[in-house]
Amino acid sequence: MSDPSSNRARHVAIIMDGNGRWAKKRGLPRAMGHKRGVEAVRKLVRSVEQMGLDCLTLYAFSSENWKRSEGEVDDLMNLMRKFIKSDLPEFVANDVRLKIIGDWQGLAPDIVAMLEDALEQTSKGSRILAVALNYGSQQEIARAAAKAAAIGEVSEKTIAAHLDTVDLPPLDLLIRTSGEIRLSNFLLWQSAYAEMLFVDTLWPDFTPEHLQQALDDFAKRERRYGGR
């Protein structure tokens, strides 16, 4: 757990919501909203170092997103391929370590191969970009509990030791864009004592300045972790 006396957020997670609504407001296809959403990701990742974050976790594709139309899922997967291919050299050059959480090995074989290569190439990075792919928090907790049970006692400590995020800093701040106020099966365990911020801004319009304002607001909060 982060030091209660520190006002600096080390780990921020974002539920990137609103691509479809952004496109609809402009009379554009949903695919264009997702494309602009990727641009927002790119700008945000480039700003992480100057903001002093150790880890940024992004909810990119949930285990429930498979329920979307086949065409939209294909668009999302193709965007993922393009993003990995185009931005991997920049990650390496800027000391970013990629971390994937979720059942990402259940994705298409070529995407899995691309991700494995990206994980290897960025393994020495000091700042972490964690991306949730084919991720569902309830499934993650169930997997962790099953692994704990297979080797012995099931407790808070042993479940935590088998979560996808075990090697990440404790979550300090969770942000959701687009005005929706729910967690959508994202980092349920990790959010137990995280601060939360729900903003109306649609994801493609979310900028590094929005994140900096969120960090400034976080620094003013008093975190008690159940104490007084």
Q: Looking at 17, 75, 87, 164, which residue is catalytic?
A: 17
Q: 164 catalytic, yes or no?
A: no
Percent of the chain with pLDDT over 70: 95
Residue 5 has pLDDT above 90, yes or no: no
Q: List pLDDT tens digits, range 6-63.
A: 688 999 999 999 999 999 999 999 999 999 999 999 999 999 989 999 999 999 999 9
Residues 6+ apart with CB under 8 A from 16: 37, 40, 41, 58, 59, 60, 177, 203, 206
Catalytic, out of 7, 65, 94, 185? 65
Q: Whole-model pTM? A: 0.93
What mean pLDDT value characterizes the chain?
94
Nearest to 223 by CA among 13, 12, 4: 4
Residues 22 and 12: their CA atoms lie apart, in Å, by 23
216 included as an active-site residue: no
**226 pLDDT tier (thresholds 50, 70, 90):** low
Question: Residue 7 has what pLDDT?
Answer: 83
pLDDT-derived band at 179 (thresholds 50, 70, 90) equals very high
Q: Is 173 within 8 Å of 12 (Cβ atoms)?
A: yes
pLDDT, position 4: 44
Return all residues near 211 (Cβ < 8 A) that are at least 6 apart.
12, 44, 47, 51, 175
